[in-house]
Structure 1
Amino acid sequence: MDTTPQPTPVTHPFQFNGRAGEYFGIWIVNLLLTIVTLGIYSAWAKVRHQRYFYGNTVLDGHNFEYHARPINILIGRIIVIIALVIYQALAFISPALAGILILIYLGFVPWLFNRSIRFNARVTSYRNLRFNFEPSYWKAFLVFLVMPMVAVFTAGVLAPVASRMHNAYIGNRLRYGNSSFKTDPNLGDLYANWGMTILVMFLGFIVIGIISVAVALLSGIDFSGIGTAFESDDAVPTGFAFSFLLFGVLIYTAPVLAFIFYAAGVRNIAFNSTTLNENRHRLHSSLSRRRYLWILLSNLVVILFTLGLMRPWAAVRTWRYFADQTQLKSLEPLDTFVGDNIQEGSAAAAEFTAMEGIEFGL
């Protein structure tokens, strides 16, 4: 019987040292120069943004670095714009040709996702070692095209399966130096998270109904006369109109909030099942879904009331929360990794997904 004591893992918390006031200076200059140059400077703005956030994210006394070159990002964006212009021109000339082009573009979607993830991985480094990603076209086709449609057509019942495949595909193909990540999210945990999300959304709909009826009652509406009001030429009572508008806004907001709730849970499950270098290092995420929802909602309110000027504060606040809730538990020092120099790859695919509102956190 082996009586050798098992080593105790050392917990390394992620830290973010950025400050909202400091980042505001970068953000406002980026914004003004992007406007003045009609968008050309946006590539440099993206690099400055990424370098600030990566450079201020610290693990075990060392920060991450972002190495993308602005000119490559600009070229990638130009390629994407040309592709979109071609599609718009064909749509104007012949909808049939535009439809064929969409099918062709769909065939490129897995490749674009793969190249995007690989580009973002390769331009990221820690302790002078770069990350990497080893893609597979057909697995990406299944993960990024087929499974999202399956999740939609099954009314979300297979969403946990899609989430598991998505995170496992990315996690199991990521590399840090010569070491491999392994991600194996537990399907039962994902379904428990999904069930909690459905329950929260159901309760949310009940609360929405109660709030809408309460607003209508406080407005002094006689519900028995509502049908008559609609049938006649009389104006619908203001209180009822406001209540109906409020109901509409909330009913569309609830699924969005539920998705955020679900995504936070998936992040915890995926990170907590991710290891590096043959289980010598393990990620840990402890996002509070309620706290995360509060941060996003309060960020939105503050940004709206300040006409966007508090976006830097919101970005720093959100990034810091993610860092504070993430740890790396290690059985060996973090300076033992080795790796080879690798090329970054094309920025075009990364810029396509960025323009389409899709972003991957590494």
Structure 2
Amino acid sequence: MSAVFESAVPALAREERIEFTATGGEYFRIWIVNLLLTIVTLGVYSAWAKVRRNQYFYASTRLAGSTFEYHGKPLAILRGRVVGVILLGAYQAALRYHPPTAGIVLLLIAGVMPWLVWKSLQFALHNSSYRGVRFGFRGSWKGAYLYYLGLPLLAGLTLGLLYPLVHQRIKRFQHAESRYGTTHFAFDAPVGQFYKVYGILVGLLVLGGGVAFGVVAGLAGGVAALNGGTADIAVRAGQVLIVFAGVLGWYAFTLCVVWAFMAILQNLIWNHTQLGPHRFRSTMTWPRLAGLYITNTLAIVCTLGLFIPFAQVRALKYRLESTTLVVAGSLDDVVAAKGGDVNAVGESVADLAGFDLAL
């Protein structure tokens, strides 16, 4: 299904595939030290851990013979995390000791969150560079409030019917307002294709749920009929096993649908993203993605969590190496843009709140 949204490659353009050279063994050494020091310092070292992780991953990401660089400063991130802990701590304290106040605190956090997301995008891109040229974000705080607060609230009032529109507008805001040097990105995915992807997701989930319910109900009724309609322990046990198997089957089917949705969505977004005259091309497939998640999960469980860094490297490698830059001309035709330091508070609070701000 992911092939539906693959874009055509210009005949005279050349493709530069992203390479990710990190290995699980190398990252495990970074990860285990980061984990131990973060525990010993009660979380303080997490800012330094993030910088070490990002520097390693950026340096391991290669495009057209050059690697990326991460320039974030640990102290800046730490200050932001302190603010994040205060905000989230205030909510938890209010929820525990005075629940009526928790709603007010939550509203205040929701009110400031778009600003934090905006600052996070600025910080993350400003502290990323390629071939000595930094990225940047020109989007305004007004746009952040519109796309991260206003439209989601409106989508909630429509019972989610506007969510594909919201998703498309957020991605357009993230991509089209980003730049590399003085060259701006562009995003031209139409809203209709987002609705098509979400329609596929919802349709498959509803169809799968209906089939699972019908099969379970039929088998459970058949077990009872074979035993003359009695309700003894053996019949009940058989019906419970059927229901349990049905739930597992429905869960597995749902995971496959979600993985397909993720692959199609990544292809849709990146196949409609452009940097100046250069276009991106994504070829992620859901069977590969599903196999990756299944093996990663099994390995993490069997190793009691020690496989986590290996799983992270495998997942990131597949996502990055599924993306190609279709180059039209030269990548060196970019003028560096000057920009001041950007506050890290937004990025750090967004990390604690679980926001996915990755482009």
**TM-score of the alignment, normalized to the shorter chain, above 0.5:** yes
CA RMSD of aligned residues (A): 2.9
C-alpha contact (below 8 Å) 2:135/2:181 kept by paired residues: yes
- Of the three residues 329, 332, 335, the one matched with 1:332 is 329
Alignment deviations for residues 122-158 of structure 1 (CA, whole Å, 9 cap, x no partner): 1111011111112323332232224334445545543
Corresponding residue for residue 308 of structure 1: 305
> C-alpha displacement at 1:93, in angstroms?
4.8
Separation in 1, partners of 2:257, 2:61:
29
AA partner of residue 320 (structure 1): K
Corresponding residue for residue 314 of structure 2: 317
Matched, 1:286 2:288: no
Q: Secondary structure at the match of 1:237?
A: helix
- Of the three residues 25, 29, 34, the one matched with 2:29 is 25
Q: Gaps (5+ residues) in structure 1?
A: 1-5
Q: Secondary structure at the match of 1:222?
A: helix
AA partner of residue 161 (structure 1): L
C-alpha contact (below 8 Å) 1:55/1:65 kept by paired residues: yes
- Of the three residues 108, 112, 128, the one matched with 2:112 is 108
Q: Secondary structure at the match of 2:266?
A: helix
AA partner of residue 73 (structure 1): I
Identical aligned residues as a percent: 35
C-alpha contact (below 8 Å) 2:224/2:230 kept by paired residues: no
Structure 1 pair 349–175 and aligned structure 2 pair: CA distance change class (3 A): same
> C-alpha displacement at 1:94, in angstroms?
3.6
> C-alpha displacement at 1:59, in angstroms?
0.3
The two structures have a TM-score, normalised by structure 1, of 0.85
- Of the three residues 168, 174, 178, the one matched with 1:164 is 168
Stretch of structure 1 that moved more, 341-350 or 244-253? 244-253
Separation in 2, partners of 1:256, 1:357:
21
C-alpha contact (below 8 Å) 1:167/1:185 kept by paired residues: no
Separation in 2, partners of 1:133, 1:225:
68
- Count matched residues: 350
AA partner of residue 190 (structure 1): F
Separation in 2, partners of 1:137, 1:22:
39
> C-alpha displacement at 1:294, in angstroms?
2.7
Corresponding residue for residue 224 of structure 2: 222
Structure 1 pair 207–31 and aligned structure 2 pair: CA distance change class (3 A): farther
Matched, 1:36 2:40: yes
Separation in 1, partners of 2:228, 2:301:
34
Separation in 1, partners of 2:209, 2:216:
11
Matched, 1:62 2:43: no
Q: Gaps (5+ residues) in structure 2?
A: 1-9
AA partner of residue 272 (structure 2): S
Corresponding residue for residue 261 of structure 2: 262
> C-alpha displacement at 1:111, in angstroms?
0.4
Separation in 2, partners of 1:49, 1:213:
50
The two structures have a TM-score, normalised by structure 2, of 0.86
C-alpha contact (below 8 Å) 1:221/1:237 kept by paired residues: no
C-alpha contact (below 8 Å) 1:111/1:137 kept by paired residues: yes
